[in-house]
Amino acid sequence: MSRYRGPKLKISRKLGDLPGLTRKKSKKTFPPGEHGQQSKKPSDYALRLEEKQKLKFNYGINEKQLSRTIKIAKKLQGSTGIILLQILEMRLDNIIFRLGLAPTIPAARQLVNHRHILVNNKLVSISSYQCRPGDTINIKPKNSSINLVKKYSQSPGLANFPSHLELNRDTLSAKVNGVIERDWVALQLNELLVVEYYSRK
């Protein structure tokens, strides 16, 4: 499946609040579709699928990328679900979003892909780049890059600024001080159901 480019509010109505996908809120409280207002108890498979879909749409990754990330997380020591979230949270596009330098993850990905972002003073144009503790993130010293980021940063960010990141708003420079803890992940999700989904495939 390629990256989703359809109506974002429709997805957030179905899956719940996805801050990385869109900051807009729908006035409709029921899920989309002809049967959206009918209450029906979802199956165990449907619950696992929904949690997996939340990850895909919030972080803007496709099925192949998520499956590959799950395999990497399983090989590392610790809780697979938490490690999976940490890998996704430490992606460069997500770090830009969590710093408040872009209103959504797709906007942050565009900044990275269009070569506006420096990591450790080197131009990085790969949005899936894995940031590490100690990395410094800066905006390319060009007026077009700086003005674009300043425009983006005027959008309201998430209420909670993650503790593993540090941002100087005057210079628009940031530092990654550590790996994110589970409590600071902004997405409401049961990551164990995602692991279960892939372990049953």
- Do 96 and 22 sit in the same domain of this protein? no
Residue 149's pLDDT band, with cuts at 50, 70 and 90, is very high
Considering the entire predicted model, what is its pTM?
Answer: 0.85
- Do 139 and 74 sit in the same domain of this protein? no
Percent helix, strand and coil across the chain, each rounded to 5?
Answer: 45, 10, 50
How much is the pLDDT for 153? 85
Total structural domains within the chain: 2
Strand ranges, E, within 5-163: 117-119, 122-123, 136-139
- Do 66 and 15 sit in the same domain of this protein? yes
Of the chain, the percentage scoring pLDDT greater than 90 comes to: 62
- Do 125 and 153 sit in the same domain of this protein? yes
How much is the pLDDT for 1? 39
- Do 47 and 64 sit in the same domain of this protein? yes
Distance CA 102, CA 157 (A): 8
* Cβ proximity of 157 and 104 under 8 Å: no
- Do 102 and 153 sit in the same domain of this protein? yes
Residue 161's pLDDT band, with cuts at 50, 70 and 90, is confident
Please, is 38 exposed, middle or buried when counting C-beta atoms within 10 Å of its C-beta (0-12, 13-18, 19+)?
exposed
- Do 81 and 123 sit in the same domain of this protein? no
Which single residue is written with the structure tokens 């996704």? 88
Task: Read off the pLDDT of each residue in 38-57 and give the average, rounded to a whole number.
Answer: 86
Q: What is the CA radius of gyration of the chain?
A: 17
- Do 61 and 122 sit in the same domain of this protein? no
For 60, the domain range is 8-33+41-87+185-199
Domain assignment present for residue 3? The answer is: no
How much is the pLDDT for 154? 82
- Do 108 and 171 sit in the same domain of this protein? yes
Domain assignment present for residue 1? The answer is: no
CATH of the domain at 165: 3.10.290.10
- Do 117 and 77 sit in the same domain of this protein? no
- Do 77 and 114 sit in the same domain of this protein? no
